[in-house]
Amino acid sequence: MKFFHISDLHIGKQLHYYNLREEQEAILDAIVQAAELHRPDALLIAGDIYDKAAPSAEAYEIFNRFLNRLTGLSGAMPVLIIAGNHDNASRLSYASDFLEKSRIYISAKAPEADEPLKKITLTDVFGEVDIYLLPFIRPRDVRHLFEDGVVTSYDTAVEAVLARENIDYSRRNVLVAHQFFVAGTAEPERCESEQTYIAVGGIDSVDTRHVENFDYVALGHIHGAQRMGAEHIRYSGTPLKYSVSEAGHTKGITVVTLGEKGEPPVIEQLPLAPLHDVKKLSGTLEEILNLKDAPAEDYVSITLTDEESLYRPKDQLEERYHRILEVRLDNTRVRHKLEQTMTSEEHLTPFEAFREFYQEMNGQPMNEDEERILAGVIETAEEMV
């Protein structure tokens, strides 16, 4: 049995204030095209369908278009979806009973007292495969299902929920889950785009020992494709790059083929090419402006290493690069100032810090009108905190 494993679509997400609708539709179209070409027996989507708990109408349109294209394929495969921590369970599960008529199965909420995990059983030449759908759960979501003291953490929550299923491990079993899985003391490699929702100190971590008896574990939550402890326990990563820290990632579809029980799954990566890539560029302003084969249409993070002051470098760069994410300076003066700031007992106010940054970037101070606008923006922001 062959299936595609993807996760963390984050539909509706922006990249440094750039709307990614065009990018997301293109990458989802590429996944549909890959499904039409490779004919998997199922598509597993391991959570974080949307980027926000209250998705925009545009985000719903993008995902609806994706599902319509999948179900429109000849001999359409079943699509198995779970909720991630970014998803709103009620919103994601809306019309799920109706969608099952099109073989789209959604598990968005933690199980109730007399309710097992959603399980979809598929069949191939070697027999049946049970696919368990475990949406993102917090200890408070399932604590009431067990005696006091059983669920005390994310780890014990997942352990207890799986234990109550009485899974027959003599059969072929697959788990789809969206949690922060670790393997003992080994944690997955993370990037900037996911630091904000991984708890400090690993208090939300779940150990892979609870899932190692599954024949394959399809994970979501981490943006870089990687195994977690064992070859058959894997994060698929995001299909798109959602931060500068992901510039070095190779995005794709994890393709898994299950053979007979007892045989290790065959795991491959099917690369996905984005409409516009995310890249890092570093050098002097002249070097960046005259770069051969410059990625003019890609999203770029630019680090300038010039030692002399530059006059409005971003204005010059925008003539060559059309999707600039950020422009940074990295030279002797900047590093010296950073060292001084880190060792100084004095802290700049937001106004002072931005004023210094403006002068550093533009080679001239802010004028009175600009300072007045900045003061108003800071005042408004402080009122909102």
Tens of pLDDT, residue by residue over 262-301, are 999 999 999 999 999 999 999 999 999 999 999 999 999 9
Token output for 171: 């059969």
User: How far is the C-alpha of 59 from the C-alpha of 91, rounded, in Å?
Assistant: 12
Sheet holding 266-271, edge to edge: 104-107, 79-82, 42-46, 2-6, 252-257, 266-271
Q: Check whether 196 has a pLDDT greater than 60.
A: no
Count of beta carbons in the 10 Å neighbourhood of residue 338: 11
Whether residue 77 contacts residue 87, with contact meaning beta carbons closer than 8 Å, is answered with: no
User: How do residues 97-113 score in pLDDT, each as one tens digit?
Assistant: 899 999 999 999 999 98
Backbone angles phi, psi at 355, to 5 degrees: -65, -40
In the chain, the N- to C-terminal Cα span, in Å, equals 52
Does residue 66 surpass a pLDDT of 50? yes
Percent of the chain with pLDDT over 70: 92
Are 178 and 194 contacting, i.e. CB atoms less than 8 angstroms apart? no
Question: According to the model, what pLDDT value does residue 77 have?
Answer: 94
Strand order in the sheet with 216-220: 118-124, 127-134, 172-178, 216-220, 230-235, 226-228
Tokens 């820290």: give the residue.
Answer: 245
Nearest to 313 by CA among 284, 333, 291: 284
Which of 52, 4, 49 has its CA nearest to residue 221? 49
Q: What is the mean pLDDT of the chain?
A: 91
What pLDDT is recorded for position 74? 78
193 neighbors 246 (Cβ within 8 angstroms): yes
Among 3, 93, 13, 95, which residue's Cα sits nearest to residue 41? 3
- The alpha carbon dihedral of 204, 205, 211, 217 has a sign of positive
The CA angle 78-84-87, to the nearest 5 degrees, is 100
Report the pLDDT averaged over residues 176-191.
93
Pairing of strands 14-15, 18-19: antiparallel
Of 311, 314, 312, nearest in space to 301 by CA:
314
Tokens for 256, please give them.
Answer: 């898994």
Q: Point out the least confidently predicted range of 61-65, 224-228, 326-330.
A: 326-330
CB 77 within 8 A of CB 128: no
- pLDDT reading at 201 higher than 60: no
Parallel, antiparallel, or unpaired for β 299-304 and 278-283?
A: parallel
Q: Which domains does the chain have, with CATH numbers?
A: 2-271 (3.60.21.10), 278-384 (no CATH)
Instruction: State the average pLDDT over residues 13-28.
Output: 96
Structure tokens at 148: 């006091």
Residue 23 identity = E
